[in-house]
Structures are given as structure tokens and as C-alpha cells.
Amino acid sequence: MAESSGKVCLITGATSGIGAAAALAAARSGGTVVIVGRKERKCIQQVSKIRRTVPGAHADYLVADLSSQQQVRDLASQFIARYPRLDILINNAGAYFGKRELSVDGLEMNFALNHMAYFLLTNLLLGRLNEAPSGRIVVVSSGAHANGKIDYDDLQTERDYSLGKAYARSKLANVLFTYALARRLGGTRTTVNALHPGLVATNLGSNNNWLRTKLRNLLKRQMLTPEAGAKTIVYLALSEEVKNVSGKYFYECKAIPSSKDSYNEADQERLWQMSERLAGLVH
């Protein structure tokens, strides 16, 4: 891993799981790590842990519920006001929802948190990233994207909602977004790549019912640790090997093919344009 002294890394969903593990690894490499979480108490605890584990680490936090577009905008504004540079943006925050719920913006929650938050935050911070000597954007998707289908007539899954369908759709949206963004970044010094972290023992899904959580806890013995799951995130954020690599999908620190549907450029562009409208970036 390259030393990142002087660099600034912003990582969402970093108070637990693979996000926390990636933040700790980034702190070890030097530079400044800014974590984002929904609860200030957890952010403070995680920053304290980073500073205890890595003496002299530069760690900070910002609080935001990323399912809210206004809070995403506030987060971006606060970051820009506080930091003159951004070298690495890791879009990691995510969840899945057993029953259909709506965000404060009226969007289905898997779509709002897992896709729209990534899309809006990245676009709001793109100016900072493009000013960096070598900006990197890391998009945490999932192997579940291969089961996803984008229904543009029912983007918010109002018909026949199921957790699996809505979650897979949001993770496919991550990959479509990555490829569309990579095209837009052509000719710049900023790269973007997506990844599947593997089946990781984290708190993802703990917002769902007790039985699903209990079954997940029973399976944790067969899952990767958060540290192992974070390896590919850290690799894409810090490794010199991928400094100039963009528009790829990674698993276990290797570029692999994503699903056939994810390579459909018309779908990539259609989702981008619809996301722009939903985020109020165009009128």
C-alpha cells in the first residue's frame, strides 16, 4: 500500500463493519481519515478507537443520515468548508430493508441509501476529487448485483416488493453508476471502481426482524471478518497497482466481469439521467 501522508479520505458507513475496518487501514497509511455515520456517539467512539490503535492518526467525523438528500447535501457542504482537498471517496454506507419503506424524499429506502446517496454525494464532491493529484472513488457494491434488474417503469419497487429484489436492484445500480461515471471521468486524473467485498460478518440487516438477524448470526462463522472484507476497498483506495485503473469491478483485489446487464450503456445512461432528476441536479 502507498503511504497517503497529506491525503484526505472520506468514507461513509464507517462506524462498524467493513467501513470501520477500511477507515482503520487508511489511518495506518497516513493522511487524514474522515468517517461518516448516522449517530454522533458511534462516530466519536470510532474516531477514538482509530486514535488509540494508530497513535498520531488524523481522524475526524461528520454525521449524516445518507437516506436523506438534504443531509447528503449538508454533509458535502460541511466537508468542503472543513477540508481544502479530497483524495479518496469511499461510498460504503448501505443497508437492506425487509419491508418496503420510504425515505424522507419519498424514495424506496434500498434505492435511496444504497444508490442515490452514492450518486449525489459523489457528484457534489467531484470538484474536490478532480483537483487532487490522483483522485479515487470506491463504490462498494455486492455480488447480489448479478440478480438485479432495473425496471424503469417501477424504479421504486412499488409492485411486488421483496427484500432480495430491491437490494439486488440497488447494488446493480452501483455498478451501472460506476461505469457511467468512469466514462465521464475520462481524461481526468480521477478514477472510479466498484467492488464486491464478499460475504462479510457485519451488522448489515440488523435493522430487520429478529429471526433474520438470528439466522445471520448463526451463519457468521462461515463469513469473512470485516478486516478481510475490507481488503478490496483498501486496495482500490490505496494501492499503486490500480492508480490508473478505472471503470472496473473487483473481487478479492482482482478485476472480474460484472453481470451482463451491468454493461448495458443505454441502461447506465438512463439510470444516470433519472438519478440526476431525482437528486435535483437537473430540472
- Residue identified by cell 467492488 is 195
Identify whether the C-beta of residue 148 lies closer than 8 Å to the C-beta of residue 115. no
Identify whether the C-beta of residue 74 lies closer than 8 Å to the C-beta of residue 121. no
- Cell numbers representing residue 72 in the block: 447528503
C-alpha 260/C-alpha 239 separation (Å) is 28
Identify whether the C-beta of residue 25 lies closer than 8 Å to the C-beta of residue 2. no
- Cell numbers representing residue 118 in the block: 452514492
Q: How far is CA 165 from CA 106, 147, 220, 275, in A?
A: 19, 8, 23, 19
Phi, psi of 36 (to 5 degrees): -125, 130
Task: Supply the residues annotated as catalytic.
Answer: 167
